[in-house]
Structure 1
Amino acid sequence: HSQRGMIRIGLNKDSAVCSWNCGAESMSGFRRDDVFGMNFVDDLLDVEGQQVVAGPFSRARAGQLTRHIDLPFYTMPGQRVDLSLFAVHRRMQTEEGLTPAAEHVVLAGGFLTEDAPKRVSVDREGHISDWGDEVAR
């Protein structure tokens, strides 16, 4: 994993991608313009990934911060990577010019490693207030 930046993905109420940061781009090989509007669950996850996120997404939409979602994800070239994400519900402004502020689920995290401490703190607005040095190792 040459780029180890934090992965941050925003999904609208229908699970369509409305935010995709450079960490998500470097992890996946998918450019932001490629994935905007795609359904994250149906279009970007396999059956295993869909099963993994079903419960956490429901809890996030109900306002519960969901930690330690160990999500298998397949990159554009077809390589499997294992991610450790959290999901939080927040009202956010989507990318400029697309849609007004709305309710969204924000996914954030990094690559799953056995020895990486998972220290992430999120404020009530869904902003990351503490990101442990080892989280995205």
Structure 2
Amino acid sequence: MTFTINSAPASALKIKFRSPYWTASGKSVTVKINGTAVNISKVDGYIDVGRVWSAGDRGELTIPSELQVSRCTDNQNVVAFTYGPVVLCAGLGSESMTTSSVGWGVTTATKTVTVKESININSPTGPV
């Protein structure tokens, strides 16, 4: 994630970023300001970056991800494969699908759907 400071007070200011649960195990979140790595601290589930900011400062927050198997909370026998916050696949039923005869009972979609590469959010409060 990148961010740019448009205006800043003359005194030090701490910016807090949520530290997500899905960060890759054994890897650390890194923050660079204007291309230089800076020290961060994790406090109460947040990543704190404190400094005297200047207009035009450009920050880069890197949160390493890894492939994980996540069990569904309502049924521990069901899992989804995730990469960071993104669900890669999950059991979504078999409506409009057929079973192929490839060998392992693989289920394949029978209709073409358009996959979006981005989602536009027109609400200042985020998705509803």
Q: Could you state the TM-score of these two structures normalised by the residue count of structure 1?
A: 0.20
Query: Greater helix share, 1 or 2?
Result: 1
Q: Could you state the TM-score of these two structures normalised by the residue count of structure 2?
A: 0.21
Query: Greater strand share, 1 or 2?
Result: 2
Larger C-alpha radius of gyration, 1 or 2? 2
